[in-house]
């Protein structure tokens, strides 16, 4: 199936086929659920380009997510320079960038999304706390949405009005995802000195982020309710994309609901351990979506 996907995506050169295969292995390793959804539910011609975008996003995050702020900023500046050179020369010594450049040749909007994402990474490197929902919104607009659009932009409709509506729903979806991402990683973020739960909400509930307690339980419930409202508002997203992409988008939003349910179940225990949907629940959801896609596929005559 993978070799056919490379063929359909127009990836014929042996070196590039090896490069894309290397990125596929990496994505399958660090994002198994997302990779499974893409493999099962996206058209083969798009799959390698989604893999390239996800691999690039992960490589960027890995490079800028270690050390104090000045070291992270220096790493981002160096990485941004390597990306610019790769696009200018149409090649790179790094397989992840060779794949990114080729995918951007096939999908020109990807380059714009890469530029916006790297610009937003400066915000990600610099922040220490999120003061309130207004600052969370600025973070989402500056960093989270551009990160999502690296892949979501590959599914976006071509017509400007439809594209604008699609991006608006993506914004609502990623705001929900970012809110419960900060909850899922609460214990780790607190240890790192960068808790993402809005500080005014922590103060309002009198919550101690370092240990379980009823105050933290109420904080988690409040934040989960706000994320749930955004997930409801994002529900029309699947109807805005090409029918071939709808099973994938529905599965993506379904996995986010599973993540939110896991956050609610964990509640105040998030102070000491992360949360996430069970592999079984996610697998059942993806298999169901794949079966539904197969039933709707045109039958040969």
pTM for this model (two decimals): 0.92
- In angstroms, the CA 117 to CA 114 distance is 5
Q: Residue 170's pLDDT band (boundaries 50, 70, 90)?
A: very high
The two three-digit tokens of residue 154, written as one number: 């590959």
Question: Contact, 237 vs 253, CB < 8 A?
Answer: yes
**Burial of 167 (C-beta count, 10 Å sphere; 0-12/13-18/19+):** middle
The fraction of the chain above a pLDDT of 90, given in percent, is 81
> Which tens digit of pLDDT belongs to each residue from 109-149?
999 999 999 999 999 998 889 999 999 999 999 999 999 99
Per-residue pLDDT band for 298 (boundaries 50, 70, 90) equals low
Q: All domains of the chain, ordered by start, with CATH?
A: 1-126 (1.10.600.10), 130-290 (1.10.600.10)
Which of the four pLDDT bands, split at 50, 70 and 90, describes residue 301?
Answer: very low
Confidence of residue 284 (pLDDT cuts 50, 70, 90): confident
pLDDT of residue 294: 62
Residues 6 or more apart whose CB falls under 8 angstroms from that of 232 comprise: none
Poorest-confidence range of 27-31, 73-77, 206-210? 27-31
User: CA distances (Å), 97 to each of 46, 92, 107, 193, 260, in order?
Assistant: 18, 6, 15, 32, 33
Say how far apart CA 271 and CA 153 lie, in whole Å: 35
The mean predicted confidence, pLDDT, of the chain is: 92
Rounded CA gap, 53 and 72, in Å?
A: 21
Closest alpha carbon to 90 in 111, 66, 70? 111
The pLDDT tens digits of the residues spanning 208-229 come to 999 999 999 999 999 999 999 9
Residue 299 has pLDDT above 50, yes or no: no
Long-range contact list for 162-166, CB < 8 A, 24+ apart?
162/240, 165/240, 166/237, 166/240, 166/241
Reported confidence tier of residue 291, pLDDT bands at 50, 70, 90: confident
> Range with the lowest mean pLDDT among 13-27, 160-174, 242-256, 287-301?
287-301
């Amino acid at each position: 199936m993978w070799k056919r996907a490379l063929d359909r995506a127009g990836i014929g050169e042996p070196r590039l086929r090896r490069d894309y295969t290397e990125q596929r292995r990496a994505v399958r390793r660090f994002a198994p659920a997302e990779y499974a959804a893409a493999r099962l539910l996206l058209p083969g011609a798009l799959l390698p380009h989604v893999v390239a975008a996800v691999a690039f996003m992960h490589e960027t995050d890995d490079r800028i997510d270690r050390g104090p702020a000045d070291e992270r900023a220096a790493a981002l500046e160096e990485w941004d320079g390597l990306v610019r050179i790769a696009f200018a020369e149409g090649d790179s010594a790094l397989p992840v960038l060779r794949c990114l450049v080729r995918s951007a040749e096939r999908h020109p909007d990807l380059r714009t999304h890469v530029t916006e994402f790297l610009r937003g990474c400066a915000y990600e490197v610099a922040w220490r706390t999120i003061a309130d929902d207004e600052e969370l919104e600025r973070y989402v607009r500056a960093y989270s949405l551009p990160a999502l659009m690296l892949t979501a932009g590959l599914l976006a409709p071509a017509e400007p009005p439809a594209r604008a509506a699609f991006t608006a729903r993506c914004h609502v979806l990623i705001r929900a995802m970012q809110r419960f991402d900060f909850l899922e990683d609460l214990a780790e973020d607190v240890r790192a000195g960068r808790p993402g739960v809005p500080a005014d909400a922590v103060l309002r509930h009198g919550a101690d982020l370092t240990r379980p307690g009823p105050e933290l339980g109420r904080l988690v419930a409040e934040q989960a309710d706000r994320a749930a409202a955004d997930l409801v508002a994002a529900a029309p997203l699947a109807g805005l994309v090409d029918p071939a992409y709808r099973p994938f988008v529905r599965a993506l939003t379904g996995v986010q609901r599973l993540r939110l349910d896991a956050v609610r179940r964990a509640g105040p225990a998030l102070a000491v351990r992360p949360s996430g949907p069970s592999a079984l629940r996610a697998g059942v959801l993806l298999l169901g979506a794949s079966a539904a896609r197969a039933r709707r596929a045109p039958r040969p005559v």
